[in-house]
């Protein structure tokens, strides 16, 4: 059974209504799609989670990174939560300068000894791995191997022909509660690891009232595999459904691969988020920070509130996207309420 519900306004300036054709940028919810691409390459035998990254990307071996594994990259243990070299927006959009800077950089902690959310660098690291192993960019791989077979509206690197369908993001209201402000400063205050990881040391710091670069055609067109996926809720739900079962004759990964990619890798203090986080191989797992449908569910949330997930225990997959962003690092109340509604139906 499929349920697809939509409502609201896609663009406040024009009054354009949100309809079945509307797309939304989903920030870190993109990471789940990137993780599925890697899992498919692992299942094919082209890659192993225990491979050294340098086996496929020789330039990565310098600066004490020769033993960093794909597993460590996928679970935010690689010690590369942001690029220390100062990069401008044009270099982020070009991608290659970021990838080359990450290859040169020394980890900020000994890989494998701690984890810290690689909010943006996760995507470029994973994207370069996919390119080195498969030959295609991760955006092309996703379009041809995941979105195409399932008929999804889901892109990393949006074609210009689809630009008119994208909803305009509305920045989250500034917090007013003193405790919430203090927590946000602890996580995201200038100079903190969280600020550097989430904004590339300020290059993408647009959430304080300034113009949002994530509403621009230039950012929609690039491949930022941790943060610029553009999709809708139905496509997110369908993608995740195809990781736990067959959808219209398509299964993205086998049961064995699904269990491997969704197995817990880290659970505890997060050096970037200054909170307890729990990750599998590219997926968030159920915890207080991001509540999911059940204890064995896996998926990924995105800044502002989006969420995609699958629950192998119930056989249910869900997707939620929006354009009104909310602030905070804990689970957004809107998908939490949707999860409660799904559980009541079950």
CB 318 within 8 A of CB 240: yes
Interval 210-255: pLDDT, tens: 578 999 999 999 999 999 999 999 999 999 999 999 999 999 999 9
Q: What is the pLDDT of residue 329?
A: 60
Interval 259-289: pLDDT, tens: 999 999 999 999 999 889 999 999 999 999 8
**Catalytic pick among 28, 272, 277, 306:** 28
Interval 123-142: pLDDT, tens: 999 999 999 999 999 999 99
Which alpha helices (H) appear in the chain, and where do they start and end? 30-44, 53-56, 70-74, 89-94, 96-104, 121-134, 138-142, 148-150, 178-188, 193-199, 217-221, 233-244, 255-261, 333-345
Q: Is the pLDDT of residue 207 over 60?
A: no
Q: Which residues contact 250 (CB under 8 A, 6 or more apart)?
A: 149, 150, 242
Q: What is the pLDDT of residue 328?
A: 66
Q: What sign does the dihedral 196-202-206-210 (CA atoms) show?
A: positive
Q: Among candidates 279, 277, 346, 288, which has minimal Cα distance to 317?
A: 346
Number of DSSP helices (H) and strands (E) in the chain, helices first: 14, 11
Is 235 a catalytic site residue?
no
pLDDT category, 117, cuts 50, 70, 90? Answer: very high
Residue ranges of domains in the chain, CATH in brackets: 9-345 (3.40.710.10)
Rounded percentage of the chain residues whose pLDDT exceeds 90: 85
pLDDT category, 32, cuts 50, 70, 90? Answer: very high
- Whole-number mean pLDDT of the chain? 94
Rg (CA), the chain: 19
Q: What is the pLDDT of residue 210?
A: 59
Q: Which residues contact 254 (CB under 8 A, 6 or more apart)?
A: 43
Q: Which residues contact 224 (CB under 8 A, 6 or more apart)?
A: 30, 92, 95, 120, 123, 124, 156
Helix, strand, or coil here: 92? helix
């Amino acid at each position: 059974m499929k349920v697809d519900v939509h409502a609201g306004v896609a663009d406040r300036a024009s009054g354009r209504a949100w309809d079945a054709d509307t797309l939304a940028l989903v920030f870190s919810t993109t990471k789940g799609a990137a993780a599925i691409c890697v899992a498919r390459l692992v299942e094919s035998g082209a890659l192993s989670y225990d491979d050294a990254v340098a086996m496929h990307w020789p330039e990565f071996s310098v600066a004490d990174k020769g033993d960093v594994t794909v597993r460590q990259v996928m679970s935010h243990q690689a010690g590369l939560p942001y690029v220390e070299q100062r990069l401008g927006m044009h270099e982020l959009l070009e991608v290659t300068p970021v990838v080359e800077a990450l290859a040169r950089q020394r980890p900020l902690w000994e890989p494998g000894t701690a984890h810290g959310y690689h909010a943006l660098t996760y995507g470029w690291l994973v994207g370069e791995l996919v390119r080195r192993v498969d030959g295609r960019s991760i955006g092309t791989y996703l379009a041809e191997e995941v979105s195409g077979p399932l008929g999804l509206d889901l892109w990393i690197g949006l074609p210009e022909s689809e630009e008119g369908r994208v909803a305009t993001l509305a920045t989250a209201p500034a917090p007013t509660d003193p405790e919430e402000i203090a927590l946000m400063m602890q996580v995201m205050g200038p100079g903190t690891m969280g600020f550097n990881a989430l904004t590339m040391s300020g290059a993408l710091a647009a959430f304080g009232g300034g113009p949002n670069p994530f509403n621009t055609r230039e950012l929609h067109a690039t491949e930022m595999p941790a943060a610029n996926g553009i999709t809708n809720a139905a496509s997110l739900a369908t993608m995740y459904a195809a990781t736990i079962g067959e959808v219209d004759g398509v299964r993205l990964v086998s049961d064995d691969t699904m269990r491997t990619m969704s197995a817990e890798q880290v659970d505890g203090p997060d050096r970037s988020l200054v909170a307890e986080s729990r990750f599998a191989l590219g997926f968030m797992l159920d915890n207080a920070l991001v509540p999911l449908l059940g204890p064995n569910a896996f998926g990924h949330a995105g800044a502002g509130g989006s969420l995609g997930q699958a629950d192998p225990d119930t056989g249910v997959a869900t997707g939620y996207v929006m354009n009104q962003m909310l602030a905070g690092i804990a689970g957004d109340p809107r998908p939490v309420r949707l999860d409660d509604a799904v559980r009541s139906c079950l």
